[in-house]
Amino acid sequence: MKSEEISILIVDDEWNMRNLIKAYLQSENWKISEAESGNQALQRFQQEPFDLIILDIMMPGLNGWEVCKMIREKSHVPILLLTAINETKDKVYGLNIGADDYLTKPFDQEELIARVKALIRRSSVSKETRFTLPEIEINPLSREVRVGEKPVMLTAKEFDLFCIFVKKPNQVFSREVLLEQVWGAEFYGDDRTVDQHIKNIREKMKKAGCTYNPIQTVWGVGYKLHAQK
């Protein structure tokens, strides 16, 4: 995807923060839109497509948590949460409700751009054919997953992670390898991020009606696809 084709929505109630993020990102020649509230963000989201949403958590009225959940009900667009609180439980909660990554304020330009590029890169449309597992169908072109006729709303990172297993069904992947392949070498988090995303995938598959666990834990090593019941 070319830089001029990438459209990003910045959502923050503070003008100074929106302006700072915009200044950081414009060096990449991306198209930048802004929203100063949760309600305005949802309106912009309904009016035009975005390749990425940068979403502040602490906003008056409709906060970032609520906006994230509402967007995720309708779209797989990557969401980068901004938080001023460096609490693991808040970050885990954000991942659970559908965010793809998080960034703690204050941050520098290099880190922001690295996170944004990683999310955009990982959400780029794949040209591969469909994959089928017992009860599950994966379409990389449309980035859709179904259990029977029921769609499974995976986040961009969850989808990319699941596809790694699907493409190489006999391979065991360590957490370190999964972090590098899905989040990139520039990721600054820890390997618990992988565990949380896999937990999310399992729960969403089960909720959609899948009668088996498609991702198997290989104790002491990592994870692999479990394509059979």
Q: Where are the domains of the chain?
A: 3-123, 131-225
Prediction pTM value:
0.61
* CATH 1.10.10.10 corresponds to the domain 131-225: yes
Which residues of the chain fall below pLDDT 70?
A: 1-4, 124-129, 185-191, 227-229
CB-CB contact of 152 with 204 (8 Å): yes
Cα of 102 vs its chain's centroid, Å: 10
pLDDT digits (tens, 9 = 90+) for 90-112: 778 888 888 888 898 889 999 99
20-63 residue pLDDT tens: 999 999 888 899 999 999 999 999 998 888 889 999 999 999 99
DSSP code for 173: B
Backbone phi, psi, residue 217, to 5°? -85, 125
Instruction: Identify the pLDDT of residue 48.
Output: 86
Pick the CATH number of 3-123 from 1.10.10.60, 1.10.940.10, 3.30.70.580, 3.40.50.2300: 3.40.50.2300
Q: How far is CA 135 from CA 147, 148, 172, 199, 214, in A?
A: 5, 6, 22, 19, 10
Q: Give the chain's length.
A: 229
> Looking at residue 97, what is its pLDDT?
86
Beta strands in the chain (DSSP E): 7-11, 31-35, 52-56, 79-83, 101-104, 131-133, 136-139, 144-147, 150-152, 215-218, 222-225
Helix and strand numbers (H, E) in the chain are: 8, 11
- Read off the tokens for 149: 């006729």
Give CA–CA dist 200/32, Å, rounded: 30
Q: What are phi and psi of 50, to 5 degrees?
A: -125, 150
Candidates 191, 201, 104; CA nearest to 160 is 201
Distance CA 5, CA 29 (A): 9
Half-sphere exposure of 58 (CA within 13 A, CB side): 9
Q: Report CA-CA distances (Å) from 114 to 79, 104, 108, 129, 223.
A: 14, 14, 10, 29, 26
